Structure 1
Amino acid sequence: MPPDFPDAAYPAAPYPGVVPHRSFVHVEGGGLTLAADPSARSSWRVGALERGTDLDAWLAARDAPPMAGRVPLLTYGSNRNPAKIGWLRRELGLAGPVVVLRARTTGLTAVWAHGLRVVDDQRPAVLAAAPGLVEEHSVWFATPAQVAVLDRCEGRSSGRYRLARVHTGEVRTEDGTLLDDVLAYVGLAGIRRPLLVDGEPVRCADLPQTAARVLRGERAPSDGLEATTLVGAPDPDAWPARLFVYGTLQPGERAWRLLAGATTGRAEPVTVPGTLLDTGLGYPAMLRDPGPGVPGHLVPLRDPGALLPRLDRYEGPGYARVRVTTSDGRACWTYVWIAPTGGFRCIERWRTSHLA
């Protein structure tokens, strides 16, 4: 499948480069357009919605990790530019498809940094708090190996930027999914703090690089962000810290004991897109499709990175753990049925059917 657009259609210079106004998956030489689809296992399709391929299936065909094996990383500077991604491939060994989703941020802004880049004397962007402000950015769904490449590019080990979970503001992908505690490279060194001109930061959206590089001002004492620095490599299993359960793992059901000691709050009734089936084997199965919706409970988890691999073994090979979005837009884990469905019947909810 040839790219829908070449890297050359989105020049990288001047920084931060030209950005596609679409979600895409980057491959060698260019990108393929993505369309949101809540009935797809990955929630996205490669190509047009009506005839596109589920992104997870497309990734599997290229021996690449699925969406569940990737972490959301907010990109607000040049890393959302296709030509820059191509440069990362050539110069730093970035490998595999890169999933880049359009996102809208609230309460966050990309502003010009105090210092210039050594390599080309251009002024880079840094992230800062901006109560009430709405901007358009992107989110990489990156593999841990791809994050390691970005670590080198952003100077994580040398102290230019720190990789952190950002608790300030709100980030939503174009399908409306809330990405709370999203990762981002946040300025750490003094030269990577916001530049203040007449006491105010300068938004990248308000001033181009040609004018930004000659600005004069002061270094801000802080970026205003509430953010927790990540130690080591990111674990895809650790995000999000919520699990949607619809069968034997629900409160009051026989397997709730596996979750009862691992929660941080009460289970909350919610619905996610799909269809619920009775397997006839004492447990239900959920399909990702345009069905009427599956009722269940949203469970907040204390340590999903430790718990979820154990639940994977409990659920067995008939299920796949994927990220889905609740009807009110929250990202969560759940288990969907991937084995044959012969003899199964549709049901409205598990507990009602189970008790009948």
Structure 2
Amino acid sequence: MTAELPFFVYGTLRPGEVNHDLFLRGRTAAEEPALLPGARLYEGPGYPFAVEHPGGSVSGELVTAAPGAYEELLAALDRLEEYHGPGRPRNVYDRVLREAVRPDGTPVRAWVYLAAPLVARRLTESGTPIPGGDWLARRPADR
């Protein structure tokens, strides 16, 4: 089993967004701003998808589970992100280990949910990138 790593969240799990209170309230010890290098953010049906992309970056938060809440939080986020296990064809997102970067430049290994391969291919071929890689800065009409 991998150590209890933080989660890098970039969409509806960020503070002020719909899933933040539903999934993270009472389950976190810390939430801090961070960037995910090597990724691009795309519009989805009410939520974004991050896709691996050299030279890009995605804004989000590093979320550290509260003591004793890690397993419950991991299971809840896997369900929300429709992650069924490594390489499963029904995955909408894949949970992968990546290095996020704190504002001071400190790298942190974290779990991040990236678009699963079939979803990622569709997005890179015909998806709509979110300028600047920040879900919270998208057009006000989309909110």
Shared fold by TM > 0.5? yes
Question: What is the letter of the counterpart of residue 63 of structure 2?
Answer: V
What is the aligned length?
118
Structure 1 CA distance for aligned equivalents of residues 76 and 139 of structure 2: 25
Q: How big is the shift at 1:272?
A: 0.9
2:85 matched to which residue of 1?
none
The answer to whether structure 1 residue 249 and structure 2 residue 34 are counterparts is no
Q: How big is the shift at 1:309?
A: 1.7
Q: Give the SS at the match of 1:249.
A: coil
Q: How big is the shift at 1:291?
A: 3.3
**Match for 1:352 among 132, 137, 142?**
137
1:331 matched to which residue of 2?
109
What is the TM-score with the length of structure 1 in the denominator? 0.32
Unmatched 5+ stretches in structure 1: 1-234
After the TM superposition, which segments of 4 or more aligned residues of structure 1 sit over 6 Å from their partners?
none
Q: How big is the shift at 1:351?
A: 1.2
Question: What is the letter of the counterpart of residue 307 of structure 1?
Answer: L
Q: How big is the shift at 1:354?
A: 5.3
Larger helix fraction of residues: 2
Q: How big is the shift at 1:271?
A: 0.3
Q: How big is the shift at 1:337?
A: 0.5
Question: What is the letter of the counterpart of residue 336 of structure 1?
Answer: L
What is the TM-score with the length of structure 2 in the denominator? 0.75
> Deviation string for 1:308-338 (max 9, x for gaps)?
1221111112101111111221111110001
Aligned-residue Cα RMSD (Å) equals: 1.6
Q: Give the SS at the match of 2:138.
A: helix
Q: How big is the shift at 1:261?
A: 1.3
Structure number, greater radius of gyration: 1
Question: What is the letter of the counterpart of residue 314 of structure 1?
Answer: L
The answer to whether structure 1 residue 287 and structure 2 residue 51 are counterparts is yes
Higher relative contact order (CA 8 A, sep 6+): 2
**Match for 1:306 among 52, 72, 83?**
72
Unmatched 5+ stretches in structure 2: 83-90
The answer to whether structure 1 residue 260 and structure 2 residue 25 are counterparts is yes
Q: Give the SS at the match of 2:13.
A: coil
> Deviation string for 1:110-154 (max 9, x for gaps)?
xxxxxxxxxxxxxxxxxxxxxxxxxxxxxxxxxxxxxxxxxxxxx
Alignment of 1:204-219 (within 5 A): none
Q: Decide whether aligned partners of structure 1 residues 270 and 334 sit closer, same or farther in structure 2, where only a CA change above 3 A counts.
A: same
